Each structure stands twice: as C-alpha cells, then as structure tokens.
A and B are shown apart, each in its own frame.
Chain A
Amino acid sequence: MNFRAVKAIYRYEMARMFRTVVQSIVAPVLSTSLYFVIFGSAIGSRITEIDGVGYGSFIVPGLIMLAIMTESISNSSFAIYFPKFTGTIYELLSAPISYVEVLFGYVGAAASKSMIIGGIILFTASFFVDIEIAHPFVMVSFLILTCVSFCLFGFILGIWATGWEKLTIVPVLVIMPLTFLGGTFYSISMLPPVWQTISLFNPVVYLISGFRGSFYENADVSIVLSLVTTIGFLIVCLLVVRWIFKTGYRLRS
C-alpha cells in the first residue's frame, strides 16, 4: 500500500476545498439554510406535523441528504475530471499506485468534504428547528455510506465525461429530480397508492427514508432495506470503478 500517495492525493484535494471555501462550503450551507427559512419557518409553520414531527424538523434529514449527494457527486467528479481536462492526469497514471489507493485519495477527500458539509448543515439546522437523533450510530453510518457511494458515483461520472456539459448533465437531469421526488420534502405515505409504488423504484427514497428513520424513527421503508440498498449501490459503484481501472476506460488508450 502506497500510503504516502494516498496522503498526497487526500491532502491535495482537501487543500483545494479550503482554497475555494466559499464555493465548497459556504455556498451549499447557505442554499440549504434558505430551504430551512422558506420551507421550515415560512411555509412550514402553516403545514401540520408529519408522522408526529414538525415540518421544519421533518425536512432536515432530506435536506442534508440532498446537499451531501449533490456535493459528493460534484466534488469527486470534478476532482478526477479536472486533471483529465488539463492533461495532468498523466502523473496519476504513471505513478506507482493502484486503483484502490487512487480511490482512497480522491473519494476519501471528496467524502470528507461532504461529511463536513453535512455536519455544518445539521449544526445550522439546529438553530432553526428542533432536532432529535434517535439512532446516532445508524445516522452516522448512513451519512458515511451515502457520501462514499455518491463520491464513487461522481468519480465514475468524472471519468466518463468528455466535456463540462456531460459533467453536469447527470446531477442536474437525474440526481436532482430523483432527490426531489425521493421524499426530501414529504413522506411518500402522503402520495396516492400508485405513486407510492412508483416511488419505491427510486433508490433515493431508501437513502432519505433510512436517514430520516435514524432521526425520528418514522421511515417510509424499513431501515434495514435502506441500508441494504445503499450498500448495494456502493458495491455496484466499486465494481464499475474496478472495471474502469482494469480496462483503462477513458483513462488509458
């Protein structure tokens, strides 16, 4: 194991985050805080409780998920796409490192950033609404699993992308709609039966439901099923990354 290489990549990527702190941390925290103000305080005060939880508190887990999924994909896809774009990827490809070490470096750094953002949003939310965490260990597990899985997904996206447009097309056209329709702002039990069934095909439902369940014990689907789905997504991403490095897809000609 080339620990020094992992450390070098991790440190390099984290330095990039602190260099662009407004873009990396302030912007997502600010936009999520605006959701709290609008949906939590302004509109939320006129909405009745959902499953015994105030609306402002109810949306906190979903908003954290929305932020960390978006940030995880954005951070890790940019981290690997930018060296491809500038040509500095040659150094990574010619270095004595395995794909596992590359992942530890890039995905580790991107996941750390997302967890920091998730933590800050949780802390910020506590100023606006009452928050309870019924199962802290499960909550942290979901947070870590989601960050790592979506960073891996972003990493795949960054390798697949051959232009800036492709880099944004999946987060904007796929992830964002799935997240908004995945129960960020509502419980899927509030939907008509047909839409409840359709929603179960949305993988993000399981992530948000499981994460919310760790807060308020009011999950739409069982926490175990949510965990299994999240781990399944993680494994699929790992297998794809392994295939990419084995074949050199869009990395080595």
Chain B
Amino acid sequence: MISINGLTKTYAGGFKALNEVSLDIDRGEIFALLGPNGAGKTTLINIVCGIVNATSGSVSVDGFDIQRDFRQTRSRIGLVPQEMASESFETVWNTCRFSRGLFGKAASPEYLEKVLRSLSLWDKKDTISMQLSGGMKRRVLIAKALAHEPEVLFLDEPTAGVDVELRQDMWNVVSALRDQGVTVILTTHYIEEAEQLADRVGVINHGEIILVEQKDKLMHDLGKKQLVLNLQAPLAEVPLQLKDYQLELSEDRNDLTYTYDTARERTGITALLSDLGEAGIHFNDLHTSQSSLEEIFVDLVKKR
C-alpha cells in the first residue's frame, strides 16, 4: 500500500532526520513504528502525508507518487498528529464536517454520526473544542482523520497522555478499522500498544530503519524465555557440573534462572531438572516468563 524508497531528510540546520529509509507497508495491516524520541518517526509520517518535503527519495501510496499525484495519495490518507492541535472556537461537528469537505468528500451526516458515536463523541458534537478535556480533544483528532473515510490512517503517538479507559477505546477503534481493511501505521511510546495491536513492527533509530519484522516472529526470534526455580535452600554457588546451562543465581541465592530458546528443538529443561536432582539441588516452586516487545526494543536500540 505504501512504498518508501531511499527517503532522506536533512533539515535547514543540517540535522539529518532520515537517512536512506526504505520501507513497504502492506494493505490492511497494522504497522507499529517504534523508536526513541528524535528517531525520525514523525518526520517519516509527515513526509508521506505531505507536511514535510523530503530531501531525496520517493514515496508512493497505492501506486501513486506523493509529489506528482498528491491528490490521489492525500485523499487516501488520514493523519492523527502527535501535537494536540484543535480549532478552539469550533464545535466538534463543524470541525469534523470541515475535515471531510477539505478532503473532497460530499457531506454525509450519517457517516460523521457513526464516527462520532464510535469515539463516544456524539454527546459532545455541539461543544466547542476548547471546552473539551485533553482526552476528548484527542478523540476529536481521530474523528477528523476518519471523517473522509481514509484507506490509510497514520496515528502519531495517539494515546500519549490519555487515560487507560480512553487508550482501550482507541485500541478498539483501531481493531475495528483493521476489520474494515484500513491500513494503520502507528507510532507509539507504549510498546504494549504495539504488542497488543500490531501485525508488523519496524524499529527506527537515528533516522535509519533498524529492523522490520512480523511482531510474532520478532518476539519469537528475539524474545527470551526464562525458567526461574525457587530453591528449597540457598545455594552458595552454581555447581561446576551445571555450568553448561549458564544458570544465574539471584543475589539472595534463593533463585536459579535458566534462559532458553523456544525455537530450538530441545530446550534443555528436562536435562536441567534431571541434573539438578543429581546435584542434590531441590526446589519449592518454578515459573517461566517471556521477554516483552519492550525488552526486545530496548535491547535493539541499545545495540545501535
């Protein structure tokens, strides 16, 4: 749906925000773009949407070039910006109707009503924006972006600073959009958001795409699974005959942690438990844990 090739952006001051970024987004997927502050996420989105001019490279949306065929590309895209920009003195209804018209769509009160209801904004339709809470203003931004029935929706940090209930509501809206076939590109600081929603994940740092992968495969390939054994008696040190397992002994010497790869045919757990018995080490309890997308992300960014 979106094809980005060799995109570079150098700002007037000389700061290189994007460096030869190439990326393909498939139709109908939810793509999470992760990266620390200043990584280039917003610049990338703004170029695709037409707000920032690229220094070099090309972007096409549904086969149309964003420069040459800007009408075709922009009419397909909806954008929820990071900044809370609102038309302070306009009612929710008027501002959404304006957005729909601006994108060349014929008036459709029925559709706007549906959008406002889905975002729990219908009761606020005659309220002016400046009288809304921060969370409600964020919903209005989403409603405006959806007002022209976009095929692609960019959500730039959509849940930054909103409460848990609203975040859950937004997740539901995004899931519903996916069901309707809308392509969603999401940037977020809340990695649990990407973990919950995304089909694919891209990681950007210092203006370069570090990795693009299916979320499940990423978590499978780069995620670690750990077995933690709570010992019956504290252990002075890990016996030599167990050194191949690279066990970690906790500071209070009561827990042993074994890290293993779930992708391997043999995890080594059966052998470990057997060897522990032979070494006379007994345990009261055990549990397993898997690394989150956040841990994978932090690990990736640190390595770069």
Do A and B bind?
Answer: yes
A interface with B by C-beta (< 8 Å):
2, 4-5, 7-9, 11-12, 15-16, 19, 86-88, 90-97, 248, 252-253
Q: Is the CB of A253 within 8 A of B53?
A: yes
Q: Pick 11 A–B contacts, CB within 8 A, sort by A.
A: A4-B106, A5-B101, A11-B101, A86-B85, A88-B87, A91-B79, A93-B49, A93-B50, A94-B49, A96-B103, A252-B53
Q: Is the CB of B86 within 8 A of A97?
A: no
Q: Is the CB of B12 within 8 A of A91?
A: no
**Contact among A8, A88, A96 for B75, CB-based, below 8 A:** A96
Q: Is the CB of B88 within 8 A of A90?
A: no
**Residue numbers in B under 8 Å from A5 (CB-CB):** 101-104
**Contact among B79, B86, B89 for A94, CB-based, below 8 A:** B79
**Contact among B12, B71, B144 for A96, CB-based, below 8 A:** B71
Kindly report which residue of chain B lies nearest to residue A9, judged by CB atoms.
B102
**Residue numbers in A under 8 Å from B103 (CB-CB):** 5, 95-96
Task: Determine the distance from Cα of A8 to Cα of B73 in the docked complex, in whole angstroms.
Answer: 20
Q: Is the CB of B101 within 8 A of A8?
A: yes
Task: Determine the distance from Cα of A6 to Cα of B165 in the docked complex, in whole angstroms.
Answer: 38
**Residue numbers in B under 8 Å from A19 (CB-CB):** 89
**Contact among B11, B71, B87 for A2, CB-based, below 8 A:** B71
Task: Determine the distance from Cα of A91 to Cα of B148 in the docked complex, in whole angstroms.
Answer: 12
**Residue numbers in B under 8 Å from A95 (CB-CB):** 74, 102-103
B283: interface (CB < 8 Å): no
Kindly report which residue of chain B lies nearest to residue A19, judged by CB atoms.
B89
Q: Is the CB of A4 within 8 A of B50?
A: no
B135: interface (CB < 8 Å): no
**Residue numbers in B under 8 Å from A7 (CB-CB):** 101
**Residue numbers in A under 8 Å from B100 (CB-CB):** 8
Kindly report which residue of chain A lies nearest to residue B76, judged by CB atoms.
A96
Pairs A-B, 10 closest by C-beta atoms: A8-B101, A87-B85, A96-B74, A96-B71, A94-B49, A96-B75, A95-B102, A88-B85, A93-B51, A2-B104
Known interface pairs A19-B89, A86-B88, A88-B85. Does A94 touch B51 (Cβ–Cβ under 8 Å)?
yes
Among A4, A12, A86, A95: residue with most chain B CB under 10 A:
A95
Task: Determine the distance from Cα of A252 to Cα of B53 in the docked complex, in whole angstroms.
Answer: 6
Give the Cβ gap from B209 to chain A, nearest Cβ, in Å. Answer: 21
Per-residue A-contact encoding for B49-82, CB less than 8 Å = 1, 0 else = 1111100000000000000001111110101010
Kindly report which residue of chain A lies nearest to residue B11, judged by CB atoms.
A253
Task: Determine the distance from Cα of A200 to Cα of B141 in the docked complex, in whole angstroms.
Answer: 52
Give the Cβ gap from A137 to chain B, nearest Cβ, in Å. Answer: 34
Q: Is the CB of A87 within 8 A of B83?
A: yes
**Residue numbers in A under 8 Å from B144 (CB-CB):** 91
Kindly report which residue of chain B lies nearest to residue A6, judged by CB atoms.
B101
Task: Determine the distance from Cα of A8 to Cα of B87 in the docked complex, in whole angstroms.
Answer: 15
- Extra contacts, 6 of them, besides A7-B101, A253-B11 (Cβ < 8 A), are A4-B106, A9-B102, A87-B84, A90-B85, A93-B49, A97-B71
Known interface pairs A92-B102, A94-B77. Does A252 touch B52 (Cβ–Cβ under 8 Å)?
yes
Give the Cβ gap from A252 to chain B, nearest Cβ, in Å. Answer: 5
**Contact among B77, B79, B94, B104 for A15, CB-based, below 8 A:** B94
